[in-house]
């Protein structure tokens, strides 16, 4: 594949947090390629570093956190590629990029909108920030965008405040805010976790429709394997700051190879099975990120672990870009 086909290439990214004297390696050597115009799903349990990866891409880390190593190459369509990790947070280049080339939608729509400003003003702000445009034209664009996201009476609703919107409607406003500047990459961090299932279905459907119309790339972060099965083209499974398995959706669901991916798929009830198959829980709990085991981080919970796993396993291609971080990826585990 051509380098230009990847809108984003992350190489060996390490993001660490310093909490007192402890160093937490939240992201510990993530390597990822995101295909242009496609949807990539980043899945994992809480604390696995998926949100920190997203915040590193935007360089929106809190004070205690910093990118220690690695590069994040962003390749916009009509300008030079650049390494996001090389710039300082406050650099003009990044301020230009945030919200215009790369947008982000956060998990909780209830707290990501400012309660004291009108919805319209909050959306228009990001247009005015990035473009020389008259207020009238900006308002027109906002109304059009809200209509595209099927918010009824958009021209009146822009005068409303966030508390006048329901949860699902607020998330639509957040999506409008993200898409109004026509970004090339949209990062959605658990966009539907705070919503009810029927509203979740609305929002996911809407994101897919918008992607078809506008052609942007999506990175969707979630803990729900069902959502990635629905939305994603490629899937990366993260555990304790590392990508354990990466591949096309079919690779992950039909040929899961890493023991963690397989355990994850077996531990959730699947609708329609009627409780016939007993779930197989993953034993133990996730280790403390400031005190990680030597070698493979999944070793203490893995059924296949042997002496060999005390050394860090390689991140290998098992065929067609299906990458697995396990000693037993080739042979053993995969053929079980």
Q: How far apart are CA 140 and CA 148, in angstroms?
A: 12
Q: How many residues would you count in the chain?
A: 336
- Which C-beta is closer to other proteins: that of 79 or that of 276? 276
CA distance 160 to 169: 12
Residue 239 and residue 298 in contact, taking contact as beta carbons nearer than 8 Å: yes
Residue closer to other proteins by CB (options 75, 242) is 242
Shortest Cβ 231–other proteins spacing (Å): 8
Report the interface residues with other proteins, using CB under 8 A.
45-46, 166-169, 196-202, 204-205, 223-230, 249-250, 253-254, 263-265, 267-276, 278-283, 285-286
Nearer to other proteins among residue 115 and residue 275 (C-beta): 275
Q: In whole angstroms, how close is the CB of 133 to other proteins at the nearest point?
A: 33
Minimum Å distance from CB 230 to other proteins? Answer: 5
**The sheet that has 22-35: what strands, in order across it?**
22-35, 6-19, 65-74, 82-83
| CB closer to other proteins out of 137 and 270 | 270
Q: How far is the CB of 248 from other proteins (least distance, A)?
A: 10
Are 47 and 258 spatial neighbours (Cβ–Cβ below 8 Å)? Answer: no
User: Which CB atom, from 56 or from 222, has the smaller least distance to other proteins?
Assistant: 222
Cα–Cα distances in angstroms (integers) from residue 248 to residues 40, 193, 224, 319, in the given order:
9, 24, 17, 11
Tell me how far, at minimum, the Cβ of 203 lies from other proteins, in Å. Answer: 10
Minimum distance of other proteins from residue 86's CB (angstroms): 35
Give whichever of 72 and 194 is closer to other proteins, judged by the CB atom.
194
Nearer to other proteins, 276 or 335 (CB): 276
Instruction: List b or e across 75-99, with b for residues whose CB sees 16 or more CB atoms inside 10 angstroms.
Output: bbeeeeebebbebeeeeeebeebbb
| Cβ neighbourhood burial of 108 (10 Å; 0-12, 13-18, 19+) | middle
The tokens of 102 are what?
């790369």
Q: Which tokens hold the place of 142?
A: 């906002």
In the complex, the smallest distance separating the C-beta of residue 87 from other proteins, rounded to whole angstroms, is 34
């Amino acid at each position: 594949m051509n380098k230009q086909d990847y809108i984003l290439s992350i190489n060996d990214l390490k993001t660490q947090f310093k909490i007192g004297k402890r160093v937490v390696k939240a992201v510990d050597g993530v390597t990822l390629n995101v295909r242009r115009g496609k949807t990539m799903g980043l899945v994992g349990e809480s604390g696995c570093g998926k949100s920190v990866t997203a915040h590193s891409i935007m360089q929106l880390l809190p004070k205690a956190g910093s990118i220690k190593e690695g590069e994040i190459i962003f390749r916009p369509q009509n300008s030079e590629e650049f390494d996001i990790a090389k710039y300082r947070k406050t650099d003009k280049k990044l301020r230009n990029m945030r919200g215009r080339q790369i947008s982000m939608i956060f998990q909780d729509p209830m707290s990501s909108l400012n309660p004291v400003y009108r919805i319209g003003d909050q959306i228009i702000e990001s247009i005015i920030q990035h473009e020389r445009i008259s207020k009238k034209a900006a308002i027109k664009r906002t109304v059009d965008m809200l209509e595209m996201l099927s918010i009824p009476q958009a021209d009146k609703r822009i005068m409303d405040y966030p508390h006048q919107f329901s949860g699902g409607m607020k998330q639509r406003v957040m999506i409008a805010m993200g898409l109004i500047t026509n970004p090339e990459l949209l990062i959605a961090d658990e966009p539907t976790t705070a919503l009810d299932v029927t509203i979740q279905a609305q929002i996911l459907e809407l994101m897919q429709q918008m992607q078809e119309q506008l052609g942007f790339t999506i990175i969707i972060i979630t803990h729900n394997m069902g959502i990635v099965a629905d939305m994603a083209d490629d899937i990366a499974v993260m555990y304790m700051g590392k990508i354990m398995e990466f591949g096309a959706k079919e690779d992950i669901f039909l040929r899961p190879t890493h023991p963690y991916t397989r355990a994850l798929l077996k531990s959730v009830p699947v609708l329609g099975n009627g409780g016939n198959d007993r779930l197989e829980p993953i034993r133990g709990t996730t280790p403390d990120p400031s005190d990680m085991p030597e070698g493979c981080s999944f070793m203490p919970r893995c059924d296949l672990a042997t002496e060999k796993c005390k050394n860090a396993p390689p991140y290998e291609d098992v065929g067609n870009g299906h990458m697995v971080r396990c000693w037993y990826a080739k042979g053993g585990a995969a053929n079980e």
